[in-house]
Amino acid sequence: MAVKTKPPKIADDTARRPMAAGRIWLVLAIALLVGGILNAPGLRKTALGQPLGWQRDVAIFLGDRLNEVSNPLLLDQPRAGLQALAGRSGDDDVDLSLPSPTRPANPQLPPKVPVKKSFSPLAPLKVAIAGDSLSITPGESLINLSPATGSISTIGSVDGHISTGLARPEVFNWPAHLSEVISAGGLDAVVLTLGSNDDQNLTGDGGVGPLLSPEWETEYRRRVGGLMDSINAKGATLFWLAIPPMSNDVRYDTRYKPMNEIVRSEAAKRPGKVVLVETEPVLTFFGGGYAQYLPTADGGFIQIRTGDGIHFTRTGGDLVAEAVLAAMRKTFDLDSWRTPSTTSASKKGATTTTGPTPTTTEVRKKK
């Protein structure tokens, strides 16, 4: 009896054949293109935030082209929906607009100095502290020193954002941010430190270069004045800290001094509403300039600047904070609540003496 045998199976090499390299690259290119279209808003924002240079220009060009496809076809909506579910709506928004000054460029009459406002423990001066990385240590010192005044209330912690300024609103838009902060907090004053990151070409609306060219200075002055007026329009007084001396003398003399002068001249146009707090006098000795250490009363020295020659030690931050408090005392009445007042009665010729306004602690005890 013959045994039937099954014919041998022929291996299907086509099923196991590796994909050609060209196809792999094609699939990857399509995947990247689809991913880029779906995430076009985020890619554009990332491109705008890159360091200035040709790489940024190319990235922005590609991001804009992807956005031109994604937005009309609503292909960016899945990303927006996921952001909304995560509570991060608006993450891809980029505000490149910066306000212009609202004060007339050449007013016929000098600006009026506002009436000096009084503050006390029961009605304290509400202050927010914000700025670039140079704002953080002095801001913390100001928060620590303010309670001793009895009439200043700092709101929250220091609102510090490193590597920010007015040069690149796509990285961080300070006028828009501070407008929201002031509106939410009902603030009386803002202590602001900006400028040390602005010695570069300007981007955003009105962007121009090169650094410190006449066109650059005109645009930077517009941004400075616009920020000042936007803060004043919310009812807050602005205390702007001048850029301090740096260990890099050339950079400070050729870049930061002219920028300080722009802020100084714009503040002078707004007396009582914008105060430039000069930092150099409290951070230097023996004729000015950069100082890493300052002499102490006992004949020693104490470090006021960190090793990078830019930022502050705690002692340096305290010195700057004390300069801010001194400027506030010149601008506001922070201490009259401590002094007893005497009121003459029109009848019987008698006088009534009242003590100082009770502190917050005393008020709580009475309750």
Domain boundaries, the chain: 22-85, 125-337
pLDDT at 195: 97
pLDDT in tens, the chain (367 residues): 556 666 666 555 555 666 677 777 778 777 877 777 767 677 666 776 667 777 776 877 777 777 777 777 776 777 777 767 777 666 667 677 788 898 766 666 677 777 889 999 999 999 999 999 999 999 999 999 999 999 999 999 999 999 999 999 999 999 999 999 998 878 999 999 999 999 999 999 889 989 999 999 999 999 999 999 999 999 999 999 999 999 999 999 999 999 999 999 999 999 999 999 999 999 998 778 899 999 999 999 999 999 999 999 999 999 999 999 999 999 999 999 998 764 444 444 433 334 444 443 343 344 4
Question: How far apart are the C-alpha atoms of 30 and 36, rounded to whole Å?
Answer: 10
- CA 306 to each of CA 146, 247, 310, 317: distance values in angstroms, whole numbers, following the listed order: 24, 10, 7, 11
Distance, C-alpha 274 to centroid of its chain: 17
CATH hierarchy code of domain 125-337: 3.40.50.1110
The per-residue DSSP string of 295-321 comes to: E-TTS-EEE-B-TTSSSB-HHHHHHHH
Question: How far apart are the C-alpha atoms of 33 and 338, rounded to whole Å?
Answer: 69
Which is nearest to 279 in space by CA: 268, 288, 292? 288
CB 102 within 8 A of CB 273: no
Q: Residue written as tokens 């001048």?
A: 242
Assessment of whether the complete model's pTM goes beyond 0.85: no
